[in-house]
Amino acid sequence: MSSQVRLRLLPSDRCLYDEPIQVKVSHLRSRQVVTIKASSTDEKGVLFSSSATYRADGNGDIDLVRDASLSGSYVGVEPMGLLRTLKPNTLNTLFIKEEALEPHMVKFSVHDEEQDQILAEVTNERLLMADGVSRVSVKEGNFRGVLFTPPGTGPFPAVLDLSTIMSERRAALLANKGFVVLTLPVFQEKLGNLKMLHLDPFEEAIIFLLQQPKVGSKRIGIIARSKAADVALSLAAFVPGVEAVVWINGCSANTAFPLFYKKRQILPALKVDTKKFIPTQSGAVIAKYAMDDPLKEENRATVIPIEQANTNFLFVASEDDLNWDCNIYKMEMEERLKRHGKKNFESMCYPRAGHMLEPPYTPFCPSSVNMFVKMQIMWGGEPRAHAAAEVHLWKKIQEFLRSHVSCDPVQLTDLN
């Protein structure tokens, strides 16, 4: 490595996962062309990497906020492009970073390709938990999950974070913003053993969450995507205590498994026809048009009666979602609520975003295995537009939850 060339991450090498950084290189030769690389290994041991070529200015400086990439994983000015474009060394692989205690470690390095030399390197430590946030594993009654609590006395609003499989990332990041967050997997047992889904364990989780000493809200917010999003709608419609729901790229009907509550079936399952999957050259399939139409007469019983919910909704749909026809479901719910004289909803639509909307600066995933059909599925999205949607949505989610899941007295703390 060159002793002169300097690579800096500003404001610090250490930051929260959802915070941007400024990458700067100095002490290069005037107009020198170099390659800046990023690499990270996920929790499954999969290596993700990206690179971009830059030309230094007359002073030998490069600033990714100012300067355009000439070639590589992306072209143009994109300050966080190296993170967004991290790609796996195996096709159709999802970036796995779900455990909150360990940071996301990304190594940045500057290379002189002509000399085959590393000029400088630095590691970015991207924390999922801010200082003082507590993490406690929870196993109560019929549910298991993880509880994140901000520092301070509160009171704080309560949020239930539902994910298809166990994930701590979004919940930890919301706790950093001043929410008490309980994260649960929708499926508390192996899918192979599952014949039905029950709302009762989620009701237990809501009661548990509202009983936490730092919680000041009388009702909770829920955030969920995909299959978990229709579970969130069902909780709003049938279970007391839900003040707000953030529904992301889901369905307006109950999908996959019959839904039970209080020992009786409340909704049958909308089915998927795998014969309608569309194959692609990558080996992954497009599943967007394979779900049965919930508005057909024979499927209407699967539609979740959100019009009976005393809940505020934020509907979020990606127009380039290749897994669900979620924008159609969003519009159907909007129209249904309007017909019932309801104004308790907001909507967001992202034209070139795909299914996998995550907290900001997560590596973009075009395709990976779908746990239901055990096939490689295309998720959709134009990478740069998808990344911009994630940044915008993350702020919107926080604003929506702060606005509707209120405490008395209001004391919402942003730890950033």
- The DSSP secondary structure of 203-252, one letter per residue, reads HHHHHHHHTSTTEEEEEEEEEEETHHHHHHHHHHHHSTTEEEEEEES--S
pLDDT (0 to 100) of residue 164: 87
Of 104, 127, 150, the residue at which a domain comes to its end is 127
Cα torsion for 311, 306, 386, 38, to the nearest 10°? 70
Residue among 150, 218, 140 nearest 184 (CA): 140
Task: Identify the H or E element spanning 279.
Answer: strand 278-279
Q: Specify if 312 maps to a domain.
A: yes
Q: Specify if 413 maps to a domain.
A: no
Question: 321, 386, 404, 406: which is the annotated catalytic residue?
Answer: 321
Domain CATH for 117: 2.60.40.2240
- Contact status, residue 122 vs residue 82, Cβ threshold 8 Å: no
- Both 66 and 209 in one domain: the answer is no
- Both 70 and 215 in one domain: the answer is no
pLDDT (0 to 100) of residue 1: 57
- In angstroms, the Cα distances linking 166 to 136, 145, 163, 396 are 14, 8, 6, 24
Q: Specify if 345 maps to a domain.
A: no
pTM: 0.94
pLDDT (0 to 100) of residue 415: 44
Q: Is residue 18 annotated as a catalytic residue, yes or no?
A: no
The domain of 373 spans 134-323+350-404
- Both 46 and 68 in one domain: the answer is yes
- Both 263 and 121 in one domain: the answer is no
- Both 142 and 175 in one domain: the answer is yes
30 HSE (CA, 13 A, CB side): 2
Q: Specify if 410 maps to a domain.
A: no
Contacts of 115 (CB under 8 A, 6+ apart): none
- Contact status, residue 238 vs residue 264, Cβ threshold 8 Å: no
Of 87, 105, 127, the residue at which a domain comes to its end is 127
pLDDT (0 to 100) of residue 165: 81
- Both 143 and 50 in one domain: the answer is no
Of 127, 144, 179, the residue at which a domain comes to its end is 127
CA 123 to CA 128: how far, in whole Å?
16
Domain CATH for 392: 3.40.50.1820
Q: Specify if 165 maps to a domain.
A: yes
- Both 120 and 139 in one domain: the answer is no
Q: Is residue 386 annotated as a catalytic residue, yes or no?
A: no
- Both 101 and 195 in one domain: the answer is no
Q: What pLDDT tens digit does each residue of the chain (416 aa) get?
A: 556 999 999 999 999 999 999 999 999 999 999 999 999 999 999 999 999 999 999 999 999 999 999 999 999 999 999 999 999 988 889 999 999 999 999 999 999 988 889 999 999 999 999 999 999 999 999 999 999 999 999 899 999 999 988 899 999 999 999 999 999 999 877 777 788 999 999 999 999 999 999 999 999 999 999 999 999 999 999 999 999 999 999 999 999 999 999 999 999 999 999 999 999 998 999 999 999 999 999 999 999 999 999 999 999 999 999 999 999 999 999 999 999 999 999 999 999 999 999 999 999 999 999 888 889 999 999 999 999 999 999 999 999 999 999 886 544 444 44
Identify the DSSP state of 66: T
- Both 102 and 84 in one domain: the answer is yes
- Both 185 and 289 in one domain: the answer is yes
- Both 123 and 245 in one domain: the answer is no
Question: 69, 163, 226, 318: which is the annotated catalytic residue?
Answer: 226
Q: Specify if 344 maps to a domain.
A: no
- Both 361 and 300 in one domain: the answer is yes
Q: Specify if 337 maps to a domain.
A: no
- Taking CB atoms within 8 Å and a gap of at least 24, the contacts of 62-65 are 62/24, 62/25, 62/26, 62/28, 62/34, 62/36, 63/22, 63/23, 63/24, 64/22, 64/23, 64/24, 64/36, 65/22
Q: Is residue 408 annotated as a catalytic residue, yes or no?
A: no
Q: Specify if 339 maps to a domain.
A: no
Question: 104, 355, 386, 404: which is the annotated catalytic residue?
Answer: 355
pLDDT (0 to 100) of residue 3: 63
How many structural domains is the chain composed of?
2
